[in-house]
Amino acid sequence: MLEPSFLKTFNQTLIDRRLVKPDQKILLAISGGQDSMCLLYFMLQLQFQWRWKLGIVFCDHGWYTNSFKAGSFLCRISVLLHLDFFQVSSNLFVRDEISARKWRYFVLQKIAKQNNYSVIMTAHTATDRVETLLINLFRGSGSHGLTALSWKTFFYSNVFIVRPFLGITRHELTNIHRELNFFLYLDPTNDFLSIQRNKIRKNFIFYIKKFFNPQIEKNLAQFAEIVSSESEFLDSLSCCLTRKATFSKYWINKNYISSLPLALQRRVLQQILQKGLGFSSCFKHVEHLRLACIKNQFNKRFVLPHGQILFLKTHIIFIGVAR
């Protein structure tokens, strides 16, 4: 049977990647759809072995008419299984994915903080990882955007977001669900081609799989995994170099920046600007600043979108504010 072998693999993934620990309070983000219900099923199978205390949270965007029924269904399951249950409905109708995600993360943080959960677990799959990679790639993102979904992400304080399904595709979960055959609440908005993620899934990936490579999801997911680990290493290295490249929060050593390899020049400058300005800078501004450093330009200034000014002196760069 497929299910016992996958359960064993799932359990081994939790161990090998150190995603969770015994005796933790874990908040499961469940929508009632295929992926999240598979996550709930397998976590329940392992609950007593790991001595977890599980809770379910259902975030209702109100995107489809019967979404409240999914919440009622999950509430009944929680009562039967003696799990904590939280249902939150948005009072603002947001259709775009970015705003919806910000609202969900706000809800998750609030519930986790108030109820002492140390892990928030989501059912993101390898397919979601590939879709996110493509969305960010089309937006012109750098390597950070290509690694947006990782296995374990620091959320706040001592709370982590964990995604144990990143090694399995949505199609593989479909096969598992077909065998287990438990009830689902399907979100009809997943078929709306006006939503970019759906368009990528149903049109772009479908086309690539049909005419170029049927294993494109697995291959791109593997690429995202490789880029993620390399990006994590470069970020760690850049943090050390950033401390050497700055005299303070607002003073940057131009000569030290110029001595670094190209990839590290960009990353260090990006981290410095993030720390000094409080927001991420786009590639254009980082590159302008980098070229000014290596060309040893001085007595120049760059005005950034939020009004900050970068003053280029002989050996230093000063981050100031427009008056």
pLDDT score of 112: 95
**Whole-number Å distance between alpha carbons of 165 and 225:** 13
pLDDT score of 207: 94
List the alpha helices (DSSP H) in 54-185: 67-81, 97-115, 126-138, 143-146, 170-180
Does the pLDDT value for residue 276 go beyond 80? Answer: no
Instruction: Please tell me the pTM assigned to this model.
Output: 0.84
Pair of tokens at residue 318: 């000063």
Q: Which domains does the chain have, with CATH numbers?
A: 2-212 (3.40.50.620), 241-321 (3.30.465.60)
pLDDT score of 308: 64
Which of these, 88, 79, 110, 10, lies nearest to 50 by C-alpha position? 10
**Whole-number Å distance between alpha carbons of 162 and 181:** 25
pLDDT score of 251: 77
Which of these, 87, 95, 152, lies nearest to 119 by C-alpha position? 152
Which of these, 141, 139, 134, lies nearest to 198 by C-alpha position? 134
Residues 284-309 have a mean pLDDT of 73
pLDDT tens-digit map of 194-210: 788 889 999 999 999 99
For 73, 217, 249, 291, the CA distances from 242, given in Å and listed in that order, are 51, 36, 10, 18
pLDDT tens-digit map of 78-114: 999 999 999 998 776 666 777 888 889 999 999 999 9
Using an 8 Å Cβ cutoff, are 23 and 116 in contact?
A: no
Chain-centroid distance of CA 219 in Å reads 19
Burial class (CB in 10 A: 0-12, 13-18, 19+), 104: middle
Using an 8 Å Cβ cutoff, are 88 and 60 in contact?
A: yes
Residues 10-29 have a mean pLDDT of 97
Report CA Rg, the chain. Answer: 23
Average pLDDT of the chain to the nearest whole number: 85
